[in-house]
A and B are shown apart, each in its own frame.
Chain A
Amino acid sequence: MLSEIAFYGAVETGLIYGLVAFGIYISFRVLDFPDLTVDGSFPLGAAVAAILIINGWNPWIATGAAIVAGMAAGAVTAILNVKLKILNLLASILTMIALYSVNLRIMGRPNLALLTEETVLTPWYDLDLAYHQVPVLLFIIVVVVALILLWRFMKSETGLAMRATGANPRMARAQGIATGAMIILGVAVSNGLVGLAGALFAQSQGAADVTMGVGVIVIGLASLIGGEAVITPSTVMRALLACVFGAIIYRLAIAFALNADVLGLQAQDLNLITAVLVTLAIVLPGVRSSVIAKFTRNKA
């Protein structure tokens, strides 16, 4: 039903959005900071990587620069919130809108093609693998490295302070944690991951386009919440794994939807389906626990 190429394509896109889900896990789950900056930092990462690659930079260094650019964007949002006391959601919307112009400036035009450029993927095509398997292999390595680094970071003293900041800022401050600095660092790391995802996406798709950030936040959230429904995020490791699996499951679901003419589903229904799935995933665990609560109360 699903062709091999479509399957690997879904896994490839899923791995990239797994990085986005990592970022959204940090902002949304760890810091309780709804961050729409990602809709801008995703194309920002793509733009920075693309313009540098076109100007002859090593693609890995260009990708690193995309991470730094994403972190800077996240830091701006967090500083607007922490220092200027702008509501977090609004602060992120402001940065996101500003990034549209910034991205156009960086690229100098709305679409930068990378189809014939040397990217991080180029040397890997020499491996004895099918063309569509190469990005999957490389992105698995990138995601695993990111996962291990994040996992260790979250268990470090700084990581614990960051988690305390999100869980109970007042208590964290009482313990002497500089919560403002933690928010700035966390949102920066989050958007650095999203910038990385944008850079990789542009390189595997053959172009950076200013419009490519549309809806990244919703898809990231859908991946995060969908993954949490499959893997209970009881530990940091499980939460991070949930991000990756959620993102891949989401992409496989879309790949099936593209094939499932039988169900009457078409590509134009995808946005609606995503919204319904996210709503269900947010609401259902609550419903389930209240049902259980009622049941146990009746028993008692």
Chain B
Amino acid sequence: MAKRTLRTLIGASLLAAASLVQAEEPRVVAITQIVEHPALDAVYQGVKDELAEQGYKEGENLTVMHESAQGNSAIASQIARKFVGDSPDVIVAIATPSAQTVAAAARNIPVVFSAVTDPVGAKLVKSLEAPGANITGVSDMLPIDKHLDMLQRAVPDAKRIGTVYNPGEANAVSLVNLLEERLAERDLELVKAAATKTSEVLGAARSLVGKADAIYLTTDNTVISAVEAVISVGERADIPVFAADTATVERGAVAALGFNYYNHGRQTGKMVVRILEGASTSDMPVETMDTLDLFVNPAAAERMGISLPDDLIQEAKEVVKSDK
């Protein structure tokens, strides 16, 4: 008898505890990414840090679900279904394939994509200004014109611009197509070298020797993974190498007008917070990166046979000193 009373008591207090917890039910954000990779991991970290800074702390008033599909599209699809079934407050989808699988599965849950270069081409949104449905996000489309301005200030007489890219990566191809267009507007010529794997980057970079006066690299995952190969070619053949992301300047490129995936994630996080606080995705245009920092590496420039103009160095947010 006493045992039963005790059991009832425990049961009742458990119920009470459960209802207490429910009173402050944490918001749920589910994050899926196609593959683990430094840039995409930085986006994930940025999203979480931004949420924390705006008062959504994991374990207190926020639950974060996070899965990576390991580059496997069937698993990406299952992750999308799992998340949709769990009906979180917001689903964050990092990179194009993940965003597409989530878009195919989610009907009513707000989706914020990140690290998607061409959201219209990927059919995630109807237009950048008016996404239309339950999906919006941050595009990592590069401000290529600003990058080319910077490049032309550093090497004004460069006529042929080389680039190495992976023809199998959606983002890389859209960027290279755009680059070609924008270079043509400036009467410059694009010299392309394809590398489908990191092991092919060195060979591709070598093929640019004699054909390119400068090299500009986009945020192509394959190429950036093996960027040292391009930099070594640039140093040997006196071809200055410019990058789209600041981390590559620290690895030996001449300069970059900053694109940083961690900040990209922070910006994504800001959109997530707005949705958690009641904003609707259909009123939120797709955003592009709003902060750009100039990073320069004068020592690398010298090794590649140019000297950077003083005003460019003075404008830089960071002057990288590498002495290898």
Contacts and interface: CB of A to CB of B under 8 A. Distances in A.
Query: What secondary structure prevails in chain A residues at the interface with B?
Result: helix
Nearest to B97: A209
Interface string A175-202: 0000000000000000000000000010
5 interchain residue pairs of minimum CB distance: A9-B81, A3-B85, A5-B85, A113-B123, A206-B104
A6 B85 contact: yes
Given A131-B107, A132-B105, A206-B104, 6 more contacts: A5-B105, A6-B85, A10-B81, A109-B174, A132-B84, A214-B71
Interface string B52-89: 00000000000000011111111101111110111000
A211 interface: yes
A8 interface: yes
Interface string A77-91: 000000000000000
B97 A9 contact: no
Contact of A211 (B67, B71, B107): B71
B121 interface: yes
Contacts of B123: 113-116, 206-207
Interface stretch (A159-167, A231-239, A253-261): A253-261
A271 B68 CA distance: 12
A219 B74 contact: yes
B122 interface: yes
B104 A115 contact: yes
A295 to B, nearest CB: 41
B134 interface: no
A81 B68 CA distance: 38
B96 interface: yes
Nearest to B85: A3
Contacts of A17: 74
Interface string A116-145: 100000000000000110000000000000
B97 A211 contact: yes
Contact of B81 (A5, A211, A215): A5
11 contacts: A3-B86, A6-B86, A10-B78, A100-B196, A206-B103, A219-B74, A251-B74, A267-B68, A267-B70, A267-B79, A268-B36
A111 B96 contact: yes
Contacts of B77: 9, 13, 201, 204-205
Nearest to B80: A9
A104 interface: yes
B100 A132 contact: no
A30 B80 CA distance: 35
A115 B100 contact: yes
Q: How large is the interface on A (under 10, 10 to 19, 20 to 34, 35 or more residues)?
A: 35 or more
Interface in B162-210: 167-170, 172-174, 196
Interface in B134-178: 167-170, 172-174
Contacts of B71: 211, 214
Contact of A258 (B82, B104, B105, B107): B82
A115 B73 CA distance: 15
Contacts of B86: 3, 6
A6 B78 contact: yes
A215 B71 CA distance: 10
B72 A214 contact: yes
A4 interface: yes
A74 B104 CA distance: 30
A201 B75 CA distance: 12
A206 B101 contact: yes
B70 A268 contact: yes
Nearest to B104: A206
Contact of A113 (B78, B82, B100): B100
Contacts of B122: 111, 113, 115, 207
A9 B73 CA distance: 13
A110 B68 contact: no
A109 B70 contact: no
A38 interface: no
A270 B70 contact: yes
Contacts of A10: 78, 81
Interface string A11-35: 0110001000000000000000000
Contacts of B80: 9
Nearest to B174: A109
Given A9-B81, A209-B97, A267 B75 contact: yes
A4 B103 CA distance: 18
Contacts of A259: 82
